Amino acid sequence: MSGAQLSAAHAEAGRRARNARLGLLGPAVLIILLISILPLGITVVYSFLTPGTYGGVTWEFSTAAYVQFLFEEDIFDGTLAFNPAYLQIFLRSIGLAFGAMIGTLILGFPTAYFIATKPRQQRTFWLFLITLPFWTNILIRTYAMLLIIRDEGFINLTLMNLRIINHPLSILYTDTAVFIGLIYTYLPFMVLPLYASLEKLDFRLVEAGYDLYASRWKVLSHVIAPLAKPGIIAGCVLVFIPGLGAYITPELLGGGKKLMIGNMIAIQFGSSRNWPFGSAAALILMALVVIVLLVYARAAGREAKAHG
Amino acid sequence: MENDGERVATQTMEKAGAENRRNVAISARSLVKTFGTGEFAVHALKDVDIDIRENEFFTLLGPSGCGKTTLLRMIAGFELPTSGIIQLDGQDITALPPHKRPVNTVFQSYALFPHMTVAENIGFGLKMLGRSGGDIDKRVKRMLALVQLEAMANRRTDQLSGGQQQRVALARALAPEPKVLLLDEPLAALDLKLRKNMQIELKSLQAETGITFVFVTHDQEEALTMSDRIAVMRAGEILQIGAPTDIYERPTHRFVADFIGDINILEGSVVSSEGRTAQVRLKDGAVIEARVPEGVDGSGDVALAIRPEAARLAGPDETAALSGTLENVVYFGAASYLHLRLGSGEEFVLRHSGALDAYDLSTGSVLGIALQPGRARVLE
Amino acid sequence: MADLATTHDAAPAARARKLKARDLKAMPGFKAIAWACIVALYLPLIVLIVFSFNDNRSVVKWTEFSLRWYQAALENEGIRNAAWVSVKVALVATILSTIAATMAALATTRAAAFKGQGLAYAIINQPLMIPEIVTAIATLSLFSLVKYVTGITGIGYLMAAHTAFCIPFAFMPIRARLEDMTLTLEQAGADLYATPLQAFRYITLPLLMPGIVAGAMLAFVVSLDDVIITLMVAGPGETTLPIYILGAIRRGITPEINAVSTILVGVSVLLVALLFLVQRRMEK
């Protein structure tokens, strides 16, 4: 075989591999580009348009959506006054999502650690117990929570039957209810990555820690927690991001009174019929998420470098 | 003498033209394989020429990373060479995909299909070749008998021991009656005893089937016991091709001598030479007679190779060729290995198989060394 | 020595306790928290399921076991229609997303890494990285534009949206399975005269099957459970079961909702349990 023929064979093999790759990747990438990424572009465009009377948009350029986020236009003289209402919703959402993140971490870490230190056979079963709610419909889980914490719900009735309280605790439709709901919903999202990290932990290191005179708390904070850091970071991101965009939990447990960003955006596309403002709010939410993801990517990268 | 005979034979074969083609199963010319480009280029094979004859047990021997597996994968069709040509029975197969080559492989990891039974594994190649069900059954039965696994036909492969998996892999590769069977360190995963048994079995299987075996290993002992011919490779180059006795007793290259078996390598310079025999003065002043192999420059500073078994302790009445101070004695039953330090500071190991009673074996005693005539060789 | 022995004999219980405390892995209180979490995760669901079998309009006061709410739910035409829409959409989305995900996973694992592989992963996983509500309103915006321009309407939009967000879920287990499969098996196939197509048919595909099944089941569960995107994208007459349940909860709590919810939870649990079994077999 001459050199020319061989290089032709090389070129042919390379071209065939490239074609196969393109053909195989094509459908998945195309579907997501068209149905998930292109719409984000449309949203950017919509956020600079004027709301249509019956929903949708009118094709007139406007920055009103972004102005409306912080200011209110006086109906009579058209002057702008600072309006913190929407900003408050954003801040409350961030606060609730952050609180849920800390809450799930405090509950999830001991749980994941407990499972990871079980004998292998039992671990699978415990993991199954955690995974099951993870794949159970969030709407139904939230509804179940609503049944429990209602004024005439399971908890209040039990407590009253036991004569611990005389009047039902009014939890439903408060920030507390939303907070509890978020923790309940996203707890498995925290436990699973934590478990993945703790399962790989070499417990001889724990023994070494004790051997070197560390107390339980010192071993936990100086040996186990640093080694489980990738899992802690992943779990926090997995709880914070969906928590920030939560819709169902505040909708059912906040009773539409205690809004979070998700509900506010949905309302703009529903009863408020202000698509540009809804689009702008969604983009601001996305910007928040991208910032969190970038911080995460940097933290994960540092982690990988430190251990690489 | 032997080398000369071989050269004459080769010339005759070349004159015979097409006649000699029949005797060469695989022929590779100017094979080059480079991974990556520029500064980061790794040269896995640098201009390799090789002829593997029909019906021979041919071994590619070398340390890991020497290019032996790359060469094997090229013959199998899993890699394209960067340049060069590979022929099978005189036909160019360089760019032919693996499924179009009448060549089968026994993989290092066996690569048995976990979702098929033993029988289905063995019959896979025939099924792909479109043979009829009856033909396949008959052939699978014969192969099972050949590797003594008749009772395991319907087992899943993960229910087999390592040695049994090895036999299935062998039967699977032999079932389609390939022109050449490639074996990529197939015994590496087996324990020592099983490996010894499989070495004998493989050798007899090769003789029985008459198929050309190309065997890759880094184990020199394995190569010596099984092969008709061995190619010793290092860093993408073939250093020496020859029968096991050639490679062991007449190494032409320092690396080959060192890689295969134990050997003493001593520095020296040629004082005089006559034909293929040279007188070499060692660094401690002793002058030794040594053979200069074909193609090796026998002048100036050279390295001498002497196998431990080509030397022994000199008797009380003998004149010793060399002498050294004793550092260590390792007793092996049938023989003892004595580690001596020569006057030049070089270490010298000899294998003494006679009685040792007559010698002073305390550390530091000075002992004389006698050499078998003609066993010291000048290296390239 | 004698002293030590007597102390041990005197207080065997204390000694046992001390030995237990010496279990170096255990952390005080962790077991209690873990159990509390499991109870908290399951208690609401158990209450929901128990009261779906209650022969009473109340969802809190137990009277007697009965299947009347299941009967009511099954006779409810709204629920039946919603269930049918859910299954239709989930089936189409599962099939399409599993095929697309399998192809993409083959492209990213069966050959040498290539330039742009990271980008391909990022695109495929994109639906996982963005809050669902953003994807939901963005998809609504695009679809309303397309509907306005082309005049085409129908359930196809909903199916397309579900297919898109199911792809990363189907992709995960299929890719994991392929990464665990050594390329040597396919090479062995080629070595034994299998053409590339035959090697795929007889070797890659059967070995990949557990991964594909797992991916398809995940996609099905995810599609069946979706609320937010469906809520935004679904047109009239395209109400899925979760959307029906959401509407019913807003109208007022009835045991009928408990019954439908229990059925939906049962389907998810069944699929996830199956998935666990498939994956355990895969590990063997």
All residues of chain A having their beta carbon less than 8 Å from the beta carbon of residue C60 are 147, 152-154, 157
Percent share of chain A, pLDDT over 70: 97
Tell me which residue of B298, B263, B250 sits closest to B277, measured CA to CA. Answer: B298
CA distance A212 to chain B (A): 41
Q: So what's the pLDDT on residue B14?
A: 47
Within-domain flag for A34: no
For residue A2, pLDDT over 70 is answered with: no
All residues of chain B having their beta carbon less than 8 Å from the beta carbon of residue A9 are 80, 94-95
> In this structure, which topology does domain B39-254 adopt according to CATH?
Rossmann fold (3.40.50)
Q: Dig out the tokens for B4 from the structure.
A: 């000369």
**DSSP secondary structure code for residue A52 in this structure:** P
* Residue B34 contacts A, CB cutoff 8 Å: no
All residues of chain C having their beta carbon less than 8 Å from the beta carbon of residue B105 are 187-188, 191
d(CA C260, CA C79): 8
Is residue B264 within 8 Å of residue B303, measured between CB atoms? no
Q: So what's the pLDDT on residue C13?
A: 66
Interhelix angle B192-209/B162-174, nearest 10 degrees: 20
Is residue B88 within 8 Å of residue B29, measured between CB atoms? no
Over residues C91-110, the mean pLDDT reads 91
Within 8 A by CB and 6+ apart from B360, the residues are B367
Beta bridge partners of A58: A50
For residue C59, pLDDT over 90 is answered with: no
Q: So what's the pLDDT on residue C96?
A: 96
All residues of chain A having their beta carbon less than 8 Å from the beta carbon of residue C38 are 111, 129-130
- The H or E element spanning position B214 is strand B212-217
A6 to B95: CB separation less than 8 angstroms, yes or no: yes
Percent share of chain B, pLDDT over 90: 5
First CA to last CA across chain A, in angstroms? 45
Domain boundaries, chain C: 28-66, 72-283
From C187, C191, C207, residue closest to B115, measured CB to CB: C207
Query: How high is the ipTM of this complex?
Result: 0.86
Interval B98-126: pLDDT, tens: 888 889 999 888 888 988 999 899 989 88
**Owner of token pair 């049944």:** A147
Over residues B25-47, the mean pLDDT reads 82
Within-domain flag for A135: yes
Within-domain flag for A54: no
Residues 45-74 (C) with a CB less than 8 A from some CB of A: 45, 47-48, 51, 59-60
All residues of chain A having their beta carbon less than 8 Å from the beta carbon of residue B84 are 6
Q: So what's the pLDDT on residue A307?
A: 61
C116 CB neighbour count, 10 Å cutoff: 12
* Residue C202 contacts B, CB cutoff 8 Å: yes
Q: Dig out the tokens for B92 from the structure.
A: 């160019």
For residue B283, pLDDT over 50 is answered with: yes
A6 to B92: CB separation less than 8 angstroms, yes or no: no
From A42, A133, A275, residue closest to C41, measured CB to CB: A133
Q: What are phi and psi of B234, to 5 degrees?
A: -150, 130
d(CA A100, CA A104): 6
Tell me the CATH architecture of domain C72-283.
Orthogonal Bundle (1.10)
Between the CA of residue A210 and those of A226, B40, C25, what are the distances in Å?
16, 47, 10
d(CA C179, CA C207): 12
CA distance C185 to chain B (A): 5
Residues of chain B with CATH 3.40.50.300: 39-254
All residues of chain C having their beta carbon less than 8 Å from the beta carbon of residue B104 are 191-192
d(CA B190, CA B196): 9
Q: So what's the pLDDT on residue B89?
A: 85
Tell me which residue of B81, B102, B85, B97 sits closest to B28, measured CA to CA. Answer: B85
A138 to C231: CB separation less than 8 angstroms, yes or no: no
Range of the domain at A137: 85-307
Tell me which residue of A40, A191, A73 sits closest to A130, measured CA to CA. Answer: A191
* Residue A24 contacts C, CB cutoff 8 Å: yes
How many structural domains comprise chain A?
Answer: 1
Length of chain C: 284
Length of chain A: 308
CA distance C1 to chain B (A): 49
Q: Dig out the tokens for B374 from the structure.
A: 């003609």
Q: Dig out the tokens for C192 from the structure.
A: 């034994």
Which residue in chain A is spatially nearest to B96 when comparing CA positions? A9
* Residue C123 contacts A, CB cutoff 8 Å: yes
For residue C24, pLDDT over 70 is answered with: no
DSSP, residue by residue, B106-117: E-TT----TTSB
Q: Which of C180, C187, C192 to mutate to test the interface with B (most CBs of B within 10 A)?
A: C192
Within-domain flag for A58: no
Interval C174-224: pLDDT, tens: 888 888 888 889 999 999 999 989 999 999 999 898 889 888 988 998 898
Between the CA of residue C253 and those of A151, A275, C102, C256, what are the distances in Å?
13, 31, 42, 8
For residue B63, pLDDT over 60 is answered with: yes
Tell me which residue of B171, B25, B167 sits closest to B101, measured CA to CA. Answer: B25
A20 to C37: CB separation less than 8 angstroms, yes or no: no
Q: Coil, helix or strand for C97?
A: helix
C207 to B99: CB separation less than 8 angstroms, yes or no: no
Over residues A138-145, the mean pLDDT reads 92
Which residue in chain A is spatially nearest to B92 when comparing CA positions? A1
Interval A26-72: pLDDT, tens: 899 899 989 888 999 999 999 999 888 877 888 888 888 888 888 88
Interval C2-18: pLDDT, tens: 444 444 454 666 666 65
Q: Dig out the tokens for B251 from the structure.
A: 């190494």
> In this structure, which topology does domain B262-379 adopt according to CATH?
OB fold (Dihydrolipoamide Acetyltransferase, E2P) (2.40.50)
Over residues B149-171, the mean pLDDT reads 88
Residues of chain B with CATH 2.40.50.100: 262-379
- Which residue type sits at A40? L
Within-domain flag for A53: no
